[in-house]
Chains A and B, each alone.
Chain A
Amino acid sequence: MTRHAKRLRIAGLSVLQIVVAALVLLPFFWMLSVSFKPATEAFAIPAELWPRNPTLENYVLALRPEFRRYFLNSMIVSGATLAITIPLGLLAAYSLSRFQYRILSVFLAMVVLAQFFPAGAMIIPIYKIVRSAGLLDTYASLIIAYITVTLPVAIWMMRGFLMRVPRTLEEAAAIDGASPLRAFVDIVIPLARPGIVATSVFVLIVTWQEFLFALSFTSSKEMRTLPVGMNDYIGQYGVRYGELMASSVMISVPVIAVFFFLQRQFVAGLTAGAVKG
């Protein structure tokens, strides 16, 4: 290829890069922009991309007590789901990655299949279980429901990581007289840490945005999570888009932050199994 043609090719591809960046960033930028616009500008026709007189008033308004409550609820439910999913998932994943009993292959097949169960098809019976336990409109009801969303995926992801942790280290520890449990705690867990982190990020992203169960199982304002609270806002605050966008930004910041800090590990976790096959 001549130098000229090469340059032309790079220029063409750079234009495409800009198109992709715009596709991703324009709506996102618009959300940020409107969140900083005073009410008068948010209603300007036609819409302007930049805020003329940026203000924080939308954020001040959006940080009303109920929003702080939703935030707390979301943190509690996501945190508790994570705290249950990861240990139980790790134990099961270890068992599935190291032993060959037939019942374990049955369980593995169950886990794979369960990942694809539609929440919509399970929601009525889970609702009834939760209701008969007197747990409707509590954190527990959501944590129970979220485990159905996270546990099978978490087992599957962590099993993928553990398969790549070589067994020889555990065998060496066994020769040195360490019990299998000790070897698991001292050797396997530290080596599987990147996998545990990647899985945790995934679980957090999923539970932070879960909507269907939270909408169906909570009825009081005190128990609403952020996504459901946001959905209520549409009805209550209608077209007060500045506030809606400010709340949206604040909901998104935690997941975006976690994601960008742990991105490398997370993408590795997401793609490893699907690609290596």
Chain B
Amino acid sequence: MRSSKRNSELWIAFGFMMPAAILVSVLMYWPMVDTFRESLFASSFINPTPEYVGFETYRRILADPVFWQILRNSVVWTMGVVLLQNVVGFFIALLLNQQLPGQGILRSLVLLPWVLPGVVVAILWRFMYDPQLGLVNSFLMRFGAIDRGIGWLAEPSIAMAAVIFVAFWKGFPFSTVIFLAALQNVDKEQIEAAKVDGAGPVRRLIDVVIPAIAPVAAVNVLLTTILTFNYFDIIYVLTRGGPLNKTAIFPTRIYEVGFGQFRFGEAAAYGTISVLVLVLVVASLMMFRFFGYKEVRS
């Protein structure tokens, strides 16, 4: 009787886990390892048979100025989106946390950009940014800020800022919702106590609210960093990494090399390097003690 109960417990513990464990191992862990193996071989559209070349591909990539540009772009893109999304997202959460009329509706509406498919967001903003037909230019012209349409996505010096803004627009609701939930969990008595001690709103924010939500902020920054670094849709649809590779980041480069030029070995090498870069970025976030990693989800 005892042992049959124990058997059925074992059966449930392992039997239930097994299908998912096999899928995660075969479809995720194996490919992660295989990417590295793949990167040691070279093949192309003309020469489809893979040939072992060792670290030659890495040597070539590191000698290519395009790689360094992509590395720089990836850092600028990730930091820009993460900062904008979390700082603005936090202040919007503060606003939504106030007792005001219309808050219920606003709290729902604010999630809208996050729900919209990435490709739709990108197409919408392609249009918003259109030099002649776009809303952005026609607003700015109406208020006299500019006298002729700007090609936001075609101008090498501003294209990156333009794509960062779009990713911010799509992503900030996520940060806002998480921050809002955290703000609603802040101990009301502590805030009241600070009020009694004569602390103004800014003091209360700095001394009570921000320390209370710091762990959530760390989770938010970590999650958005990883998601942004790996984000493909918006840049691909808006600019394809152009103009002049000014907005190319690792995922767009991997797609271009792998499925545009069929150089799988090189794409796999870029994939391996991108994982290393991401690990470094996350590790440096942790070094800043920016890390309250307990229960995290994307």
Q: Which residues of A contact B (CB under 8 A)?
A: 10, 13-14, 16-17, 20-21, 23-28, 30-31, 34, 42-43, 45-47, 49, 88-89, 91-92, 94-96, 98-99, 101, 103-104, 107, 110-112, 114-129, 144, 147-148, 151-153, 155-157, 160, 179-181, 184, 205, 208-209, 211-212, 215-216, 226-228, 230-231, 234, 239, 241, 244-245, 248, 251-252, 255-256, 259-260, 263, 267, 270-271, 273-277
Contact = CB atoms under 8 A, between A and B. Distances in A.
A263 B12 CA distance: 33
B296 A112 contact: yes
B100 interface: yes
Nearest to A249: B120
Closest CB pairs A-B (n = 3): A209-B117, A46-B138, A92-B20
B12 A95 contact: yes
Interface in B176-209: 177-178, 181-182, 185
Question: Which of A27, A115, A121, A179 has most B Cβ within 10 Å?
Answer: A121
Interface string B257-279: 01100001001101110110010
Contact of A270 (B31, B178, B232, B264): B178
Contacts of A34: 127
Given A27-B125, A209-B119, A121 B275 contact: yes
Given A24-B113, A91-B17, 7 more contacts: A24-B110, A24-B112, A121-B35, A122-B271, A216-B258, A248-B124, A277-B215
A216 B250 contact: no
Interface string B104-120: 00101111110111111
A91 B123 contact: no
B236 A211 contact: yes
Contact of B32 (A23, A117, A256): A117
Contact of B119 (A45, A155, A211): A211
B9 A180 contact: yes
B178 A274 contact: yes
Contacts of A215: 236, 255, 259
B45 interface: no
Contact of A30 (B8, B35, B128): B128
B184 to A, nearest CB: 9
Contacts of A160: 295, 297
Interface in B12-33: 12-14, 16-17, 19-21, 23-25, 27-32
Interface residues of B, number: 99
B233 A227 contact: yes
A17 B100 contact: yes
Given A117-B32, A122-B32, A216-B255, A256 B295 contact: no
A92 B17 contact: yes
Interface stretch (B51-59, B77-85, B129-137, B152-160): B129-137
Contacts of A230: 119-120, 123
B245 interface: no
B254 interface: yes
10 contacts: A20-B92, A27-B135, A30-B127, A92-B20, A123-B254, A153-B298, A156-B297, A160-B297, A215-B259, A274-B219
B285 to A, nearest CB: 13
Contact of B271 (A31, A99, A118, A245): A118
